[in-house]
Chain A
Amino acid sequence: MRMDCELAGESLEERAAGLLPAARAAELDEHISLCPACARQLRWISGLKASVRALPRAALPAELRAALLDAAGPRPGPLDWLRARRATAAGLGFASAFAAAGLALWLRAPEERLPLDEVLTEHGRYEATMPAADRESLYAGLAEAGEAR
């Protein structure tokens, strides 16, 4: 059955929003290519959609954002971070990087040692900024050391 204007008109919004299944979109497009009235409606819908999307938006007030974050609960501490990483990190890679970074800090002279929390936080910064090549050579070195032991 060929699509008529009424049926086409019902689907123009979904066509403009990209929500029509491909087969139906193709059928509609065929109708539109032969029907100037429906083609014009589609241009209106698309033009209005784009204009609504382009309107300037209100900025979220900073104090509201702060209040919502407060309500969401405490910012995750280093130990939460560690727990989360442990749960998701893939095996040796993370453990080795952690050991190396933590150990490097811990092996300082006792008067220079940081409290455990700071070591963990420091490790987070360290791993996040470490160049990939360094990380790989570190892992390789640690694996070697592990085998030699």
Chain B
Amino acid sequence: MAIHEAQRRLVEEYSERGYQFAFGLCGNSEDAKELVQEAFYRILRKWDSYDAGQPLEGWFLGILRNLYMDSLKRYERRHGVSLDAPLAGRSGGDLNLADAMADPNEEALLDRLCRRNLGARVRRALDGLSREHKAVLTLLDIEGLTYGQIGQVMDCPLNTVRSRVNRARAALKKVILEKGKEAYADGL
């Protein structure tokens, strides 16, 4: 396959998924468009050799990595938050998934969740997570990446991926439980 043909296929097969990842990270289409354009351009410019035996997915991981790193830089520039600050603390911290005790409300919420009845609440909860947590859950649940691939995108070792996934999931659950309790308290 010629380079241009492979590049077009990369765009055709992965641009939508790249855009969705970027949109999830920054929450608006203007930023998402800029990030995606820059991420693809950088990969396409760098692409001076093409090995047909290598799957296009490898290039897509490079794009996801650009999107993730650039979204962090952009956030840092706008909000003056250092990348070194512990991101986990912003949405759930070291909360363990098991910390939330079982109660009747939780059981009811879990039932609704399993019947796919909590879509809007899950959306809001996900949007409220830190970029790092949003990214790790999107890469795992939506993109279906392995922990090794997530490590490549987020530039961290396997154990860090594992603990980020656990923390992100706990944070998501915590927000849904809290909102659920508020809703019950309001008699909804």
Contacts and interface: CB of A to CB of B under 8 A. Distances in A.
Contacts of A40: 102, 110
Interface in A3-32: 5, 9-10, 12-14, 17, 19
Interface string A27-61: 00000000001001101111111111111011111
A55 B122 contact: yes
A52 B123 CA distance: 8
A117 to B, nearest CB: 17
B69 to A, nearest CB: 19
A64 B15 contact: yes
Given A13-B165, A19-B146, A58-B29, A73 B4 contact: yes
Interface stretch (B75-83, B85-93, B113-121, B179-187): B113-121
A75 interface: yes
B73 interface: no
A71 B116 contact: no
A46 B97 CA distance: 13
Contacts, number: 125
A84 interface: yes
Interface in B137-188: 137-138, 140-142, 144, 146-147, 162, 165-166, 169, 172-173, 176
A112 interface: no
Contact of A60 (B19, B118, B137, B173): B19
A145 interface: no
Interface residues of B, number: 52
Interface residues of A, number: 43
Contacts of B10: 72
A51 B11 contact: no
A37 B165 CA distance: 19
A64 B36 CA distance: 9
Contact of A51 (B3, B7, B20, B118): B118
A80 B2 contact: yes
B11 A72 contact: yes
A147 B174 CA distance: 77
Contact of A43 (B114, B122, B144, B147): B114
Contact of A64 (B33, B98, B166): B33
B116 A51 contact: yes
Contact of A67 (B29, B32, B37): B37
Interface in A45-100: 45-55, 57-61, 64-65, 67-69, 71-76, 80, 83-84
27 contacts: A5-B98, A9-B98, A12-B97, A13-B140, A13-B165, A43-B114, A44-B97, A45-B97, A48-B141, A48-B172, A48-B176, A51-B116, A51-B118, A52-B126, A52-B142, A52-B172, A58-B23, A60-B19, A68-B15, A68-B36, A69-B12, A71-B40, A73-B7, A76-B5, A83-B2, A84-B2, A84-B5
Given A55-B119, A69-B12, A84-B1, 5 more contacts: A52-B122, A52-B141, A58-B24, A64-B33, A67-B37
Interface of A: 5, 9-10, 12-14, 17, 19, 37, 40-41, 43-55, 57-61, 64-65, 67-69, 71-76, 80, 83-84
